[in-house]
Structures are given as C-alpha cells and as structure tokens.
C-alpha cells in the first residue's frame, strides 16, 4: 500500500510538472494564431492558418486557412437537408474535406462533394456516400491542386427492398501534375423473397489526370444485385476510366460490372491515354453474362492500347469480350481483345486493337 501511494504521488507530481511546462507554451501559441488569424477572419471570414471546422449535420464543412489548412468535413444529411454537406476547400497547402453521407432511409439523397485540395499542394476530398433507401448518388471527389491527387468519388447509396441503388460519384480531377481520383462504387440492391431487387448503381467515372502529367483514375465498380431467394435484379455497369494528362499519362482502368441476379452489369471502358502520349486503360470485366469494357485508345504519338475486358460468365449466354484499344499513331502495340465469358453459348472474344504505324503490332483477339 505504501509503495502504491508513493507511485501515485510521483505520477501526480510528474503530471503537474508537465502541465506547468506545456500550458504556457500552448497559451502563447493560441495567442499568436489569434493575432495572425483575426484580420483575415474579420475581413474574409476565414483564418490564415488552421483547419476548417467540420460541418454540423446537413451543413458544409468550413474552408481551411488561406495559407495552410485542411478543409472541414461535410455533415451527414438530415430530414430537413437530406443531402450530405460538401467538404470544405483547402487553402494554398492542405487537403480538401470529405463530403458528408446522404441521409439514411431517404429518397435519392446524394452524398456531399469532396472539397478542393490546396491551390499549390493538396489532394481533393473524398465524396460522401449516397443515402440509403432509394439509393442516392455518391458525391464527386474534390479536384486536386497544382500538385496532388483527385479525391475518390463516393459510394452510391445502398437500396432497400426492390429499390434501385445509387450511382457512384465521379473521381476528382488531378491538378497540373497528379492522378485523377477513382470513381466510387455503385450502390447495391437487394431482395429477400424472390421479388424485384431493382437495378444496382453504376460505378462512377474516374477523374481525369493532371493537365500536364498524370494518369486518369480508375472507374468505379458497378453495384451488386443480391437476393436470399433468386428473383430479378440487374448489376450496375462499371465506370469509365479517366483520361490521361495532356503531355503524358495513362488512361484509367474501367470498372468491373456488378454481379446480378438475372443480368450483370457491363464492364466500363478504359480511359484514353494522354493527348500526346500515354497508354490506354484496360476495360473492366463484365458481370453475369454481360460484355467486358473496351480498352482505351492510346495517345497521339506514343503508347499502347488498353486490353479489352473479359465477358462475364453465365448459366445461359456468356458475355462478349471487349475490343482492345488502338495504339498511338507512331509507336505502340494494340491492346488485346478480352475473352468471351463461358456459357451456353460462350461469349465472343473481342477484337485486337490496331498497332502503331511506325513501330507496333496489332493486339491479339480474345478467345471465344
């Protein structure tokens, strides 16, 4: 008991000493920030340094400091304001805030959009998830600054029995030098006793790569239609891959099609390569009996075409494979065609893409 009492006394004295050392420094820091931020806060309603506050339910997140600071996250949707709040923008340096989710058990309440990243350095904020019920669309990912990655699109809202799932949000664009954000996944849909499960949400498109350099973001996967006892329901289509940057950048891959009860979603097409050079993105695979996405075409001068996505297998007819993307005009290999999905009959394989005119060979066709 005496030992425990001595230990407790020592711990208390140590904590008091730490508090005495830290508290004055923290107070000075807060006072300095107050002096720095007060003028811009009064004139522009925004601090010079500091993170933006998160939004209350149904409200947008506040912007970060003009110089340094992340944007605040958007609030979740409410009955009065079902859409999720948008994320706040960053200043010169900082990341955008995430969008808030749409209201639960609502009618197509969208998620909030992600906030923009810092003008010089910073990533875009993630889009908010769409509201559940009659699924809402996911929020768009925030755009990046000069250097940064675009925000990922929000997931589409999941549906209740028999309703449609929400589409995934588009990915945010890269800045001058950066990768586009991936598209959000489509919302799922569901039935319990063999009824109509509705259509699952499509995946969001990938964001474009940076204006100068940067790869496009991948398209989001389509949502799945599921059931306890088989009924009807269609999987969501995969999202299209984002375009590569102007000088150079690969196109984003297309999203895979969602699983379905009666039919799956088609695969998303691969994004095209950069305007001058860059390879095309691969096409996404098809869902149940659905076609694969086409491979993206390459840029103008150099780059390979993207491979086509494979067709989805099925107990009936298999899905066709996607065609391979075209190579660049000068140098590059054509993309291979995707294989057809197994079924009765099997799906047809996709065609191979053309090769470059100076150096290159066509892509191989997909297998039937």
What's residue 3's pLDDT? 43
What's residue 6's pLDDT? 46
What's residue 19's pLDDT? 52
Instruction: Give the residues across from 232 on adjacent strands.
Output: 196
What are the domain boundaries of the chain? 234-368
**Count of beta carbons in the 10 Å neighbourhood of residue 57:** 16
Q: Report the alpha-carbon distance of residue 300 to residue 287 in Å, rounded.
A: 32
306-318: b (≥16 Cβ within 10 Å) or e: bbbbbbbbbeeeb
Read off the tokens for 334. Answer: 């054509």
Contact in structure between 178 and 149 (CB atoms under 8 Å) = yes
Beta-carbon contacts of residue 262 (< 8 Å; ≥ 6 apart):
232, 233, 234, 288
pLDDT tens per residue, range 265-316: 999 999 999 999 999 999 999 999 999 999 999 999 999 999 999 999 998 9
Parallel, antiparallel or unpaired: strands 232-234 and 106-107: unpaired
Contact in structure between 363 and 323 (CB atoms under 8 Å) = no
What's residue 231's pLDDT? 61
Counting as low any pLDDT under 50, the low residues of the chain are 3-4, 6-7, 14-15
**Coil, helix or strand at residue 190:** strand
pLDDT tens per residue, range 113-131: 999 999 999 999 999 999 9
């Amino acid at each position: 008991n005496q030992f425990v009492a001595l230990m407790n006394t020592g711990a208390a004295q140590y904590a008091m000493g730490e508090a005495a050392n830290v508290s004055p420094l923290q107070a000075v820091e807060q006072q300095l920030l107050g002096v720095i931020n007060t003028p811009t806060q009064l004139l522009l309603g925004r601090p010079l340094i500091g993170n933006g506050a998160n939004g209350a339910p149904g409200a947008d997140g506040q912007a970060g400091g003009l110089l340094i600071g992340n944007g605040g996250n958007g609030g979740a949707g409410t009955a009065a304001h079902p859409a999720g709040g948008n994320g706040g923008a960053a200043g010169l340096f900082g990341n955008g805030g995430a969008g808030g989710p749409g209201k639960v058990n609502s009618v197509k309440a969208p998620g909030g959009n992600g906030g923009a990243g810092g003008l010089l350095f910073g990533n875009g904020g993630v889009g908010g998830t769409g509201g559940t019920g009659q699924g809402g669309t996911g929020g768009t990912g925030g755009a990046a600054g000069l250097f940064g990655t675009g925000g990922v699109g929000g997931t589409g809202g999941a549906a209740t029995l028999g309703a449609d799932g929400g589409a995934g949000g588009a990915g945010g664009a890269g800045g001058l030098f950066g990768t586009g954000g991936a598209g959000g996944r489509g919302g799922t849909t569901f039935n319990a006793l063999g009824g109509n499960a509705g259509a699952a949400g499509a995946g969001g498109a990938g964001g474009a790569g940076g204006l100068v350099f940067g790869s496009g973001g991948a398209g989001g996967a389509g949502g799945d239609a599921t059931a306890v006892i088989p009924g009807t329901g269609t999987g969501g289509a995969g999202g299209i891959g984002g375009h590569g940057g102007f000088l150079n950048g690969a196109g984003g891959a297309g999203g895979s099609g969602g699983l379905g009860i009666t039919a799956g979603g088609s695969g998303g097409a691969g994004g095209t390569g950069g305007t001058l050079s860059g390879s095309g993105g691969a096409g996404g695979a098809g869902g149940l009996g659905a076609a694969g996405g086409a491979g993206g075409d390459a840029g103008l001068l150099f780059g390979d075409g993207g491979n086509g996505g494979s067709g989805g297998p099925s107990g009936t007819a298999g899905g066709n494979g996607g065609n391979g993307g075209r190579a660049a005009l000068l140098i590059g290999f054509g993309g291979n065609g995707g294989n057809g999905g197994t079924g009765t009959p099997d799906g047809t394989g996709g065609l191979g893409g053309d090769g470059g005119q100076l150096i290159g060979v066509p892509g191989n066709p997909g297998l039937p």
